[in-house]
Amino acid sequence: MSESPTPPDPSSAPAAGAGHWYWRGAWTALTSTQGMVLLGTYIGFGGLLQDIGFPLAAGLFSTLIVWALPAQVILIGGYAAGTAPAVIALAVGLSSVRFFPLTVSILPYLRGRAGLGTQLLAAHFVAVSAWVESMRHLPGLPAPARLPFFFGVANAYVAISLVATVIGYALAGTLPYALALGLLFLTPVSFLLLLTRNARELVDYLALVFGLALAPLFAEIGGRLDLLWTGLVGGGAAYLVHWWRRRPR
Amino acid sequence: MNPVLGELWPYLLVILAGFLPTEVWRTAAVLFARGIDEESEALVLVRAVATALVAAVIARLVLTPTGDLVAVPLIVRIGACVAGFGVYLIYRKTVFFGVLTGEAVIIAGAWWAQ
């Protein structure tokens, strides 16, 4: 805190207003590794939109209101495959289950005296990127600074992603063939690494490995619900191992 | 499907199959944030199911891509994932370098396969 010569007193309101913390959060996000990864992955997402033939405006709309890259990829993947909307919604709903623990764990920092509407708006911006970056900084900030800081981080990430989606969409049509294919590949390879990085316990790693390994099997025998079956069987098996290791003896 | 609905369909799909099933979890989390223990067993299970499901999406995008990626040989697509993963592990778990490596392999493979 270069602008304050004395250490801040946590019990008092910060000298700086909400606007200061908002822009501070935005700057933190813009200069983070996560920001660069988002730029890359959403350039990939823009490329995927172009590749699948999904309208750019609808893709940007999905970034804004869904704000969950795996869900968006399932969505446009399902659109491309002609999957029934109810099945897509179910797969998206299952892939978005992770937002429940993410949101529950970040809300105690953000809640303060905020009303239900503000909490719901904050929860909307909870995604893996904003969560990872915010949880690193929030505990050290004075309580009134946390909510504006979080909104700054999350909004900067959304802005990066929207711009990157447009860039990716535009570049996918004009780039050399090999680079265009590279953009399409950003989504799966970055997800693989982000899922690995997010894994905390054995059960998370097992679920990742089982999901990868079972996907080709259920693609053959699972019909239209193959993603769901892979999730349920792979995740269920990972949980069983977890349960077996933790059982009282 | 009539032309107007056909044009609006992607947007409707984003709202019905993207926004609603995602936002329901965030909304539920807000409502239950005070009462739910993040380490509860049920959440371990649903997180595992979600992780396996996203892993299945990754596997599908790598093994049976719907777009032009299918032009890159399967072994190169898998090799790019393995190389990216290896660099990620070696380089202090930096996603950025891992992604860069995977990209380098896939772009080189695509250029070579051309």
ipTM (interface predicted TM): 0.78
Residues of A in contact with B77 (CB under 8 A): 185
pLDDT for the residue B56: 85
Mean local confidence (pLDDT), A108-128: 86
Q: Find the radius of gyration of the CA atoms of chain B.
A: 20
Res. A11 pLDDT band, cuts 50 70 90 = very low
B94-111 exposure pattern, b = at least 16 Cβ within 10 A, e = fewer = bbbbbbbbbbebbbebbe
A-B CB pairs within 8 A amount to 311
Single out the residue of A38, A59, A36 nearest to residue A170, CA to CA: A59
Residues of A in contact with B114 (CB under 8 A): 177-178
Residue A117 domain-assigned?
yes
Give the residue from A182, A215, A238 where a domain finishes.
A182
CA distance A243 to chain B (A): 9
Examine the domain organization and report whether A41 and A156 are in the same domain. yes
Residue A11 domain-assigned?
no
Q: Does B105 touch chain A (CB under 8 A)?
A: no
Residue A9 domain-assigned?
no
Examine the domain organization and report whether A81 and A110 are in the same domain. yes
- Among B25, B59, B60, the residue with its CB nearest the CB of A97 is B25
Say which residue, B44 or A213, is predicted with more confidence: A213
Examine the domain organization and report whether A106 and A52 are in the same domain. yes
Mean local confidence (pLDDT), A170-182: 79
Q: Which domain holds residue A113?
A: 19-182
Q: Which of these ranges, A122-126, A204-208, B50-54, has the smallest mean pLDDT?
A: B50-54
pLDDT for the residue B85: 94
Residues of B in contact with A33 (CB under 8 A): 94-96
Q: Does B47 touch chain A (CB under 8 A)?
A: yes
Q: Which of these ranges, A64-78, A108-122, A211-225, B25-39, has the smallest mean pLDDT?
A: B25-39
Residues of A in contact with B105 (CB under 8 A): none
Say which residue, A150 or A227, is predicted with more confidence: A150
Say which residue, A121 or B42, is predicted with more confidence: A121
Kindly report the average pLDDT of chain A as a whole number.
83
Q: Which two tokens stand for residue A68?
A: 């969950």
Determine which of B54, B66, B103 to mutate to test the interface with A (most A C-beta atoms within 10 Å).
B54
Say which residue, B45 or A79, is predicted with more confidence: A79
Residue A213 domain-assigned?
yes
Res. A177 pLDDT band, cuts 50 70 90 = confident
CA distance A131 to chain B (A): 13
Inter-chain CB proximity A92 and B18 less than 8 Å = yes
Residues of A in contact with B74 (CB under 8 A): none
Does residue B37 carry a pLDDT above 60? Answer: no
Residue A74 domain-assigned?
yes
Examine the domain organization and report whether A160 and A216 are in the same domain. no
Determine which of B58, B85, B91, B114 to mutate to test the interface with A (most A C-beta atoms within 10 Å).
B58
Examine the domain organization and report whether A172 and A236 are in the same domain. no
Does residue B11 carry a pLDDT above 70? Answer: yes
Give the residue from A155, A182, A209 where a domain finishes.
A182
Does residue A4 carry a pLDDT above 80? Answer: no
Examine the domain organization and report whether A45 and A143 are in the same domain. yes
Examine the domain organization and report whether A134 and A36 are in the same domain. yes
Kindly report the average pLDDT of chain B as a whole number.
84
Say which residue, A167 or A198, is predicted with more confidence: A167
Residues 6+ apart with CB under 8 A from A145: A14, A16, A18, A21
Examine the domain organization and report whether A103 and A45 are in the same domain. yes
Residue of A nearest to B112 (CA): A178
Query: Ramachandran region of residue B10, left (φ > 0), alpha (ψ -120 to 50) or beta?
Result: alpha
Residue A46 domain-assigned?
yes
Residue A218 domain-assigned?
yes
Examine the domain organization and report whether A177 and A203 are in the same domain. no
Inter-chain CB proximity B33 and A103 less than 8 Å = yes
Number of separate domains in chain A: 2
Residue A187 domain-assigned?
no
- Among A65, A201, A233, the residue with its CB nearest the CB of B19 is A65
Mean local confidence (pLDDT), B97-113: 91
For residues B94 and B68, is the Cβ–Cβ distance under 8 A? no
Examine the domain organization and report whether A208 and A86 are in the same domain. no
Res. B67 pLDDT band, cuts 50 70 90 = low
pLDDT for the residue A232: 85
- What percentage of residues in chain B have a pLDDT greater than 90? 45
Say which residue, A43 or A163, is predicted with more confidence: A163
- Among B13, B23, B36, the residue with its CB nearest the CB of A124 is B23
Examine the domain organization and report whether A144 and A207 are in the same domain. no
Does residue B43 carry a pLDDT above 80? Answer: no
Residues of B in contact with A232 (CB under 8 A): 49, 52
Does residue B10 carry a pLDDT above 80? Answer: yes
Examine the domain organization and report whether A127 and A102 are in the same domain. yes
